[in-house]
Each structure stands twice: as C-alpha cells, then as structure tokens.
C-alpha cells in the first residue's frame, strides 16, 4: 500500500548528507550538538553564494546596468523570501536586513528611543532573555532613563504569569524570546502579545532559537516586530532579519546613517529613503541575503511537521537517556513537559564544571556549548555559573545522542 | 592520547580531587585575596602570611573547573616556603609559560617553543592539558590572585 495518510518521515541520513561538514571536516565522526549557537550549512546554501559571486555580483540599488539589476533582484528576492518565511503581509516592505539579530535589537532600541520611549517609561523583558535582548535596553536605561521590568520564571524554567497585568499596565514595550537559548522553554508568546496589546504596548519577539524548528506566522501572532538570524537557519553569518509592521516602520526614524538609507542629502539636512531601505545604511550583505534565501528554501523543503516529530523524538531520547544513565547526578534545566521546550537541553552534572565536560567530550568529537550562553541574568537566577548545553537540528540522529551519553560516562568516571 | 598527556591529566585530576594546602589562614597578619573569572564562574581564595623566617605560608580555597582548581593547588605547593621575591619569579615563569603556550595555540603551526618545560616539574602538566586559549584564564587565575596577595603583603 502507498504511504498515503502517513506523516512524512524525515530522512535524516539524506539530510545529513546534504551538509558537507559531516564528510569534509577533519573530524570524521563529528557529533555536532551546538546548533543553537549556529547551524551547519547545506550544500545548496554554500553553492548559492559562490554562484552569486561567480555570476551575479554588483552593488545593489544604484547601477544603471544589467548586472547590477540582477544583483538587486537577487537581494530583493531574498527579502521577499524572508517575508514569506514569517508570513508577513507585505514581504517587500516589512523586512529589514541587519548584520545579525543583535543589531536588529539595537536598531529597535535606538529608533524607538527617539519618539516612542520617554524617560520613565517601562520596558518589560523576561529573566530568560539573551544578552542581545537585555543589553540594548540597559544602554537605553542609562542613556534615556527608562525602567526595565523582568518577568520571573518558576522552578521549571517557565514564565510566571500571575502578575502579568501588573507588569504590563503602564508599560510601553514587551520584548521576549520565543525559545530560551538556555532552557529551551517556549513561552506562551501569542498569549503575551495579545495581553500586551490590551494594555497598548508594542511587542518584539526574539525568534532566533524558534525559527530553525517551527513555522512562524507574524499575522497569527500579531507581533509588531520579530527578529531572527540567518546563520541559525542554515544561512550564512553576517545577516539578521527584522520584521516590522509597515505602519510602525514608516513612523520610525532611521538607525544608522549613510548610503542606501537616504533619499536626499543637503549640507543642512537629509531625507531618508522609504522602508525598508531607510534602515539599511551602506552596502548591505548581498551574498549573505542570497545564502539566507537558500537556507530558508532548504528548511522549507523539509516538512515542518516531520522536523518537529524527529526533533521531539530526539529531545525525548536525550532527556530520558541522561536521566536513566546519570539519575540523581544530573540536573536538567527547563520545562519537564517536552511540549513546552524546543531544540536543546541544558544540564548540570555532578558539580563537574561545564568547561571540563566540554573539553573531554571534544576528545570524542562531540561538540557542546559550555558557559553562560550570553544569558547571565538567567544564570544568576538558576544559581549556576555555567551549564552544559546540547542542542539539536534536523541533521542530528539518535547515534549523536548515544555519543553524547558515552562521552559523559567517561567524564563522570574521570572526575569522580 | 599519548602517555605524557595521560600523565599530565592524572596530575591535574589528582590536584583537583585532593587539593593541597586547602583552606584559609586565620592569623591576624594574614592577607586574603579573592580571584574571580566571571566568564566561567571560577573562584579562588588565596590567604598568605609570612613565617618568622620570611618565607611564605599559603592556603587556597575556591570552586570551579579542574584547571583553575588544580592550578591553585599546584601553585600552593611551589609557593609554600618561598621568599616573596622568589614567589614573584615563579609567577612570572608560570605566566610566561602560559603566554608562550597561548601564542603557539593561536598560531596555526605546531612548532615547539623553546621554553624549558621540564624545569617546571608538575606545573608543566597544566600546559599539557590547556588545549584552548579560553582556558588559559582558568590556569592563570590563581597566579594573578597570588600576585595581588603579594602586593598586599608588601604594603602592610
């Protein structure tokens, strides 16, 4: 019988073979469990960028020759692809390319500080934000005198929602992650955006960790702004994406000044370009945009449900294996309920320092992240100085988890 | 893994599991200095005092990774009973070893440095296990803390 009606299974061996690093790096048995830091790149992304440089490269938006027009079209196609990726209503106008997600946050904190945020205004964050969504607001606190309020988390690493009305009332902005890069927690972001809108707040969602795993729909979530980065969704480094509702982007002043973002310049003033170029000063990351488009196409060529099914099974296997093998010696951070987490597992093992764990695992070519994960407010809250984090992507398989467990057995033996 | 690496690792693990001169000196003349590496949370507490003959007494305490803690333990062994000047020279020698090592880690070629590693005794083990530049800070934390303590001791 044909496989009608069955969920499409992810062909992990095929997926893995699409990523040259697993056959070409000098580590023949590379076990890459650090995709939350950055994903590996499929052949199609690498090829798209070399092909662009070989056949299409020129500067964008200014040449009056066909080659420059080709480059401009490639760049703007990438914008439209990125807009469709998050289901933007106006993909060609609501997507701004930045250097990375961090720059997108800085763009927003700076631009919103001109007309929207005033001294004494409150910005609501959560305790599990990446530094990229903390430090720009702390800088604004110093520069402008805004207040920051942090939503607390409970023992399971889930947001405490009891005092949400209190937090949002009289605040101006809510900015939160869609997936914690330390805990893997997926907070109820849609509910929170809705709640924030009831109190008239603007909302920013950090989708950097969410985008590689689940479909984003900005219309359904009704987010005012949403940020993700290219290199975590199989694209190149050097390109981040800011989605913003058209009317909001239009009402905001530019961030960086220079070429491209400008319509007219006189010696006593300037007129900015229209959106989205108003926010893109200087020559943009053109080849990176082309690579990002290929990354999105690769991700979308795999069925989201199939990815989710595979990754959930991997996560469950990882958590069960860690608990079965190390029992009371291991503390797994983040939600117990697997439905409430995505992509990664952070843990503490027997008070062995994560740097020691990671360095021993490295001898088995198992790559994990050890440290504070650019989330020091959260680390303080968890009362740990560092954790070990194993994060997964669609190219990981069960043998990768087995290699992690085997490596950790050596670690516990060594540091007993 | 080579036999030498195994030996180095055993030395480091031994000092990590059974740190020497652990604790704090509680005499009124003792100086106490804390060292902290915010990047990875390593903590070292060094207490120092001078014996009547001018030699150093030292105890170390703290928490953190095997490199930072074993380095502190190894340091306490080599510093205990030294004169201040001698101790400073040992700090310089150790930090030189790690600097040369860091430079060789960061350059792509694996050429051996001319440093006389054998003169350092067991301390050479640290150079043997520090494989990444980021961990050199773990290895030198105790030594930088000791330097501060020596400064305080000489101020008093």
Domain boundaries, chain B: 3-155
**Do A414 and B138 lie within an 8 Å CB cutoff?**
no
Q: For chain B, say whether A131 makes contact (Cβ under 8 Å).
A: no
Selected residue of B5, B16, B66 to mutate for chain A interface (largest A Cβ count, 10 A): B66
**Do B13 and A386 lie within an 8 Å CB cutoff?**
no
- Per-residue b/e over A251-283, b at no fewer than 16 CB within 10 Å? ebebbbeeebbbeeeeeeeeebbebbbbbbbee
What distance in Å separates the CA atoms of residue B42 and residue B136, rounded to the nearest whole number? 12
What distance in Å separates the CA atoms of residue B42 and residue A354, rounded to the nearest whole number? 11
State phi, psi for A49 to the nearest 5 degrees.
Answer: -75, -40
What distance in Å separates the CA atoms of residue B41 and residue B76, rounded to the nearest whole number? 21
| B17: nearest CA partner in chain A | A415
Q: Calculate the dihedral angle through the C-alpha atoms of A53, A57, A60, A63, rounding to the nearest 10 degrees.
A: 170
Cross-chain CB nearest to A386 (options B16, B40, B66): B40
- Residues of B near A (CB-CB distance < 8 A)? 1, 13, 16-17, 39-42, 64-67, 131-132, 135, 138
Instruction: Judge if ipTM > 0.90.
Output: no
Domain boundaries, chain A: 12-42+303-414, 47-301
Would you say A97 and A239 are in contact if contact means Cβ atoms under 8 Å apart? yes
Q: For chain B, say whether A371 makes contact (Cβ under 8 Å).
A: yes
Would you say B73 and B60 are in contact if contact means Cβ atoms under 8 Å apart? yes
What distance in Å separates the CA atoms of residue B70 and residue B23, rounded to the nearest whole number? 14
Residue A406 has a pLDDT of 98
Q: What is the mean pLDDT of chain A?
A: 95
Tell me the CATH number of domain A47-301, given options 3.40.640.10, 2.60.40.10, 3.40.50.1370, 3.40.50.1000: 3.40.640.10
To the nearest whole Å, the CA of B116 is away from the closest chain A CA by 26
Mean pLDDT across A29-41: 97
State phi, psi for B97 to the nearest 5 degrees.
Answer: -60, -45
| Structure-block tokens of residue A17 | 């073979």
Residue A164 has a pLDDT of 97
To the nearest whole Å, the CA of A355 is away from the closest chain B CA by 7
Strand runs labelled E in chain B: 31-37, 42-50, 56-63
Size of interface A-B (CB pairs under 8 A): 38
**Do B40 and A371 lie within an 8 Å CB cutoff?**
yes
Residue B151 has a pLDDT of 95
Selected residue of A358, A359, A379 to mutate for chain B interface (largest B Cβ count, 10 A): A359
Q: Using DSSP, state whether A241 is helix, strand or coil.
A: strand
Residue A387 has a pLDDT of 93
| Structure-block tokens of residue A87 | 């289901």
To the nearest whole Å, the CA of A364 is away from the closest chain B CA by 11
Cα dihedral sign, B82-B85-B89-B94: positive
Q: What is the DSSP letter of A268?
A: T
**Do B41 and A415 lie within an 8 Å CB cutoff?**
no
The conformational region for residue A284 under phi > 0 = left, psi -120 to 50 = alpha, else beta, is beta
What distance in Å separates the CA atoms of residue B121 and residue B105, rounded to the nearest whole number? 21
The least confident of A185-189, A371-375, A394-398, A408-412 is: A371-375
What distance in Å separates the CA atoms of residue A133 and residue A131, rounded to the nearest whole number? 5
Q: Please report, in tens digits, the pLDDT of each residue of chain B (156 residues total).
A: 566 778 788 899 999 999 999 999 999 999 999 999 887 788 999 999 999 999 999 999 999 999 999 999 999 999 999 999 999 999 998 998 888 777 777 765 544 444 566 667 888 888 877 878 888 899 999 999 999 999 999 887
Strand runs labelled E in A234-312: 240-244, 262-266, 269-272
Res A2 pLDDT > 90: no
Cross-chain CB nearest to B131 (options A354, A359, A386): A359
**Chain B residues within 8 A of A372 when measuring between CB atoms:** 39-41
Cα dihedral sign, B129-B134-B136-B142: negative
Q: How confident is the model at residue A4 (pLDDT cuts 50, 70, 90)?
A: very low
Would you say A230 and A239 are in contact if contact means Cβ atoms under 8 Å apart? yes
Distance of CA B54 to the CA centre of its chain: 21
| Bridge partners, residue A345, by sequence | A390
**Chain B residues within 8 A of A363 when measuring between CB atoms:** 1
Res A5 pLDDT > 90: no
Pairing relationship of beta strands A240-244 and A262-266 according to DSSP bridges: unpaired
Res A7 pLDDT > 80: no
To the nearest whole Å, the CA of B69 is away from the closest chain A CA by 11
Cross-chain CB nearest to A353 (options B13, B17, B66): B66
What distance in Å separates the CA atoms of residue A88 and residue A225, rounded to the nearest whole number? 11
- Which CATH topology does B3-155 take? Sufe protein. Chain: A (3.90.1010)
**Do A359 and B138 lie within an 8 Å CB cutoff?**
no
Cross-chain CB nearest to B41 (options A359, A386, A415): A386
CA angle (A9 as vertex; A8, A11 as ends), nearest 5: 130
Burial bucket for residue A24 (CB in 10 Å: 0-12, 13-18, 19+): exposed
Long-range contacts of range B86-95, CB-CB < 8 Å, 24 or more positions apart? Answer: B87/B56, B87/B146, B87/B150, B88/B147, B88/B150, B91/B143, B91/B146, B91/B147, B91/B150, B93/B119, B93/B120, B94/B120, B94/B123, B94/B140, B94/B143, B95/B140, B95/B143
DSSP assignment of B10-54 equals: HHHHHHHHS-TTBS----TT-EEEEEEETTTTEEEEEEEEE-TTS
Res A267 pLDDT > 70: yes
Q: Quick check: bond before A276 cis, omega within 30?
A: yes
What distance in Å separates the CA atoms of residue A122 and residue A170, rounded to the nearest whole number? 7
* Residue found under tokens 């200095």: B33
Mean pLDDT across A185-200: 98
pLDDT digits over A336-378, tens only? 899 999 999 999 999 899 999 999 999 999 999 998 888 888 9
Pairing relationship of beta strands A122-126 and A173-177 according to DSSP bridges: parallel
Mean pLDDT across A46-52: 98
Mean pLDDT across A68-85: 97
| Structure-block tokens of residue B88 | 């400073």
**Do B67 and A356 lie within an 8 Å CB cutoff?**
yes
**Which amino acids of A are annotated catalytic?**
374
- Which CATH topology does A12-42+303-414 take? 3.90.1150
| A385: nearest CA partner in chain B | B41
Residue A224 has a pLDDT of 98
Q: For chain B, say whether A377 makes contact (Cβ under 8 Å).
A: no
| Structure-block tokens of residue A216 | 């984003």
Residue A1 has a pLDDT of 40
Q: For chain B, say whether A414 makes contact (Cβ under 8 Å).
A: yes
**Interacting residues of A189 by C-beta distance below 8 A, sequence separation 6+:** A176, A178, A205, A221, A223
pLDDT digits over A96-150, tens only? 999 999 999 999 999 999 999 999 999 999 999 999 999 999 999 999 999 999 9
């Amino acid at each position: 019988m044909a496989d009608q009606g069955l969920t499409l299974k992810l062909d992990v061996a095929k997926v893995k073979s699409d990523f040259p690093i697993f056959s070409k790096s000098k580590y023949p048995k590379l076990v890459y469990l650090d995709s939350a830091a950055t994903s590996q790149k499929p052949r199609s992304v690498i090829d798209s960028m070399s092909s662009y440089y070989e056949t299409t490269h020129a500067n964008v938006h200014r040449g009056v020759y066909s080659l420059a027009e080709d480059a401009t079209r490639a760049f703007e196609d990438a914008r439209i692809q990125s807009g469709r990726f998050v289901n933007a209503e106006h993909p060609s106008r609501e997507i701004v390319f930045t250097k990375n997600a961090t720059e997108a946050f800085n763009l927003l904190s700076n631009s919103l500080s001109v007309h929207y945020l005033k001294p004494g205004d409150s910005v609501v964050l959560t305790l599990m934000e990446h530094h990229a969504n903390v430090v720009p607001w702390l800088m604004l606190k110093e520069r402008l005198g805004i207040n920051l309020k942090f939503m607390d988390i409970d023992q399971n690493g889930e947001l405490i929602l009891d005092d949400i009305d209190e937090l949002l009332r009289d605040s101006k902005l809510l900015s939160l992650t869609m997936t914690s890069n330390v805990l893997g927690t997926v907070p109820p972001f849609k509910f929170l955006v809705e709640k924030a809108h009831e109190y008239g707040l603007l909302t920013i969602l950090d989708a950097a960790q969410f985008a590689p795993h689940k479909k984003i729909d900005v219309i359904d979530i009704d987010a005012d702004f949403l940020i993700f980065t290219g290199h975590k969704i199989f694209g190149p480094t050097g390109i981040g994406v800011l989605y913003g509702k058209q009317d909001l982007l239009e009402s905001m002043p530019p961030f960086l000044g220079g070429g491209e973002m400008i319509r007219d310049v006189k010696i006593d003033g300037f007129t900015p370009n229209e959106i989205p170029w108003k926010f893109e000063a200087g020559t943009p990351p053109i080849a990176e945009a082309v690579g990002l488009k290929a990354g999105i196409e690769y991700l979308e060529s795999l069925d989201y449900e199939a990815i989710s099914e595979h990754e959930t099974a991997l996560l469950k296997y990882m958590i069960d294996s860690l608990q079965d093998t190390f029992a009371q010696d291991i503390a797994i951070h983040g939600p117990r309920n697997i439905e409430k987490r995505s992509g990664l597992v952070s843990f503490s093992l027997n008070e062995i320092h994560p740097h020691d764990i990671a360095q021993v695992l490295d001898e088995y070519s198992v790559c994990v992240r050890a440290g504070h994960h650019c989330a020091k407010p959260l680390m303080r809250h968890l009362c740990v100085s560092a954790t070990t984090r194993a994060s997964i992507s669609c190219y990981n398989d069960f043998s990768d988890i087995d290699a992690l467990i085997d490596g950790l057995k050596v670690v516990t033996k060594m540091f007993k | 893994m080579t036999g030498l690496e195994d030996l180095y690792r055993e030395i480091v693990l031994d000092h990590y599991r059974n740190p020497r001169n652990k604790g704090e000196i509680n005499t009124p003349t003792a100086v106490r200095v804390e060292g902290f590496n915010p990047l990875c949370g390593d903590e070292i507490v060094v207490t120092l005092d001078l014996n009547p003959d001018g030699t150093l007494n030292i105890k170390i305490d703290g928490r953190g990774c095997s490199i930072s803690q074993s380095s502190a333990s190894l340091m306490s062994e080599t510093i205990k009973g030294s004169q201040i000047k001698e101790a400073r020279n040992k700090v310089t020698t150790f930090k030189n070893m790690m600097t040369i090592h860091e430079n060789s880690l960061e350059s792509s070629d694996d050429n051996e440095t001319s440093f006389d590693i054998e003169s350092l005794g067991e301390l050479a083990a640290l150079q043997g296990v520090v494989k990444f530049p980021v961990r050199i800070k773990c290895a030198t934390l105790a030594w930088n803390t000791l330097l501060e303590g020596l400064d305080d001791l000489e101020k008093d």
